[in-house]
Amino acid sequence: MADVMIAGPALVSILRQGPYLIASVNTALDDSQMIRFQKDLIAQIGRHRSIGVVIDVAALDVIDSFGCRTLRSIAEMARLRGALTALVGIQPSVAFTMVALGMGSGRIHTALDLGEGLAYLDSQLLYPRHTI
């Protein structure tokens, strides 16, 4: 059973699915909301001893350089806390902006959708597949 955690007024939802966290960004976040999301997600990794994180950004149609840097920072902090990260659902306009700003995903694995992101975590962490 997944636990629903809301960061702010339903801007981001964080679901626990077995050893994974699934964070869905539901709308564009300003800088302070992005920082809160970062803090909340990193705290949840420790609280639930999560070994994998999927960040779903399918609802975003724009992103700025701060958002790109923050997503990369989240992935690095998650790695330092023992969790692998997959960024999923990147819209074409967001991908274009990330590349134009020189802010590629770096060490974050990317996938087209949630299913592929979970499959990646499963393959890297050798954990049996969970259904959502």
Per-residue pLDDT at 1: 43
Which residues, given as ranges, of the chain have pLDDT below 50?
Answer: 1-8, 132
Scanning 2-91, the segments in alpha helix (DSSP H) are: 31-48, 65-80
Per-residue pLDDT at 4: 47
The CATH number of whichever domain residue 58 belongs to comes to 3.30.750.24
Within a domain: 132: no
CB neighbours of 73 closer than 8 A, spacing ≥ 6? 38
Within a domain: 75: yes
Within a domain: 131: no
Per-residue pLDDT at 99: 84
Expressed as residue numbers, the domain containing 111 is 4-125
Number of structural domains the chain divides into: 1
